[in-house]
Structure 1
């Protein structure tokens, strides 16, 4: 059945899963031909990464199946679930193969660790004398002690690196905390400054209104003064205190001859 007729998303995910499963099949066939332990380890890492990606895609496939389940016929949903189970079964078979190869590789590496380095001619225990057996055992013990000592050094170095990393992370965390606090202070200062600017703007606007009104009053007074000076007999303009012309003296009746 063509999955594109059910969902384009399902068809795309199915194609990606099929491609990864083919890659896993070819990868394990290639792994069987590899003899070097380091190359086997790298190949297993690549295959493990592909299996993780395949597992993620199968989960996406399952979610998409559940999303379109209500729109499909029962036989279509059954087919999709069977396909999902088939994918899971095939992936699990590769997971089992990976575990087998990993166990075999680990045993081989453990055997190489305890094997005497640089010994080309190994004497059989049956042909060794007691002294040779003791010497050989002592050499193996010394080599084992050296390997353990190297492992201890690696562990100590790892602990040291971990301690330094933890200290660096702690310092970075404290620095980030200080930066956040400084940003909060800056934000508060910006808000306060913005509020102050608004208040100043309102005050300036008020002052401008007052200055404008005073200017208009002064101009009105000046205009009245000018008119009064030019035409002092103009009755439409009331006298301004201090600027009115002197009143004529009234003559008393008894002063008239």
Structure 2
């Protein structure tokens, strides 16, 4: 009877997923040995590194499930689950060491899968083989690695959130500037319309002034003509070529009565 059949469906499912992941890692490293091109080896190694990250996440979920359901099983089942988790960590560490070996041969930057940011220890300290640790030390080391990775992920989430906030603030500022530019354009249109109306009004006033000047010039000419006629009539009252101007005719000769003779 399979011991994993005695646990919950969640733990059994996680165990199956981890087993499939280990099988994929084994096949991936076998394929890596046959690849000769350095760039293809590097891409294959990156893909295997991603699978190891997923495997580590599943092992952590498996460990969390054991802790949550510990009270539901007897001593033997809990011991079996603990040993199962330890064997998973050992196998994953063996793949981590294998990845380290291929990374070194490709002269890539040495980055350990479970190292936290800022780690400056020697490369051989990044991977600790299971044979050099007790079961409890191995469990503690695995938990520590998982915690450090979670912290790195949390920091990455914070950076992403900060980036999103900055993007939202930038978008809001751009929207406000766009609205302000729209208002400025509307104001410029209003000013242009006002200037156009004022220009038309100035032209109309100019035309009216020109018309008034013409009328004044004509009146001035008429007045000058009247004055000239008056002057000529006064100087030469017998000039018949100049018609009498009402009110300026010469005095009427006094008539003699018949009986004055």
2:175, 2:141 → 1: CA distance? 50
Structure 1 position 155, deviation (Å): 1.1
Aligned-pair Cα RMSD in Å: 2.9
Q: Is the 8 A contact 2:114 2:149 kept in 1?
A: yes
1:195–1:100: structure 2 CA closer, same or farther, 3 Å change rule?
Answer: farther
Q: TM-score, normalised by structure 2?
A: 0.55
Alignment map for 1:97-116 (pairs within 5 Å): 111-112=111-112, 114-116=114-116
Counterpart for residue 163 of structure 1: 168
2:199, 2:41 → 1: CA distance? 69
Counterpart for residue 118 of structure 1: 120
Q: Is 2:156 the counterpart of 1:154?
A: no
Deviations 1:165-214 (A, max 9, x none): 01101110110110111011011101111111111111111111111111
Which of 225, 230, 234 is the equivalent residue of 1:225? 230
Unaligned runs of 5+ in 2: 1-37, 50-107
Unaligned runs of 5+ in 1: 1-96
1:215, 1:226 → 2: CA distance? 16
Alignment map for 1:165-244 (pairs within 5 Å): 165-244=170-249
Q: TM-score, normalised by structure 1?
A: 0.55
Deviations 1:22-49 (A, max 9, x none): xxxxxxxxxxxxxxxxxxxxxxxxxxxx
1:173, 1:209 → 2: CA distance? 54
Deviations 1:82-101 (A, max 9, x none): xxxxxxxxxxxxxxx99998
Q: Is the 8 A contact 2:115 2:149 kept in 1?
A: no
2:40, 2:128 → 1: CA distance? 35
Tell me which structure has the larger Cα radius of gyration: 2
**Superposition misfits of 4+ residues, deviation over 6 angstroms:** 97-110
Q: Is the 8 A contact 2:114 2:146 kept in 1?
A: no
Q: Is the 8 A contact 2:229 2:242 kept in 1?
A: yes
Equivalent pairs, count: 160
1:205–1:112: structure 2 CA closer, same or farther, 3 Å change rule?
Answer: farther
Counterpart for residue 54 of structure 1: none
1:104–1:227: structure 2 CA closer, same or farther, 3 Å change rule?
Answer: farther
Alignment map for 1:2-81 (pairs within 5 Å): none
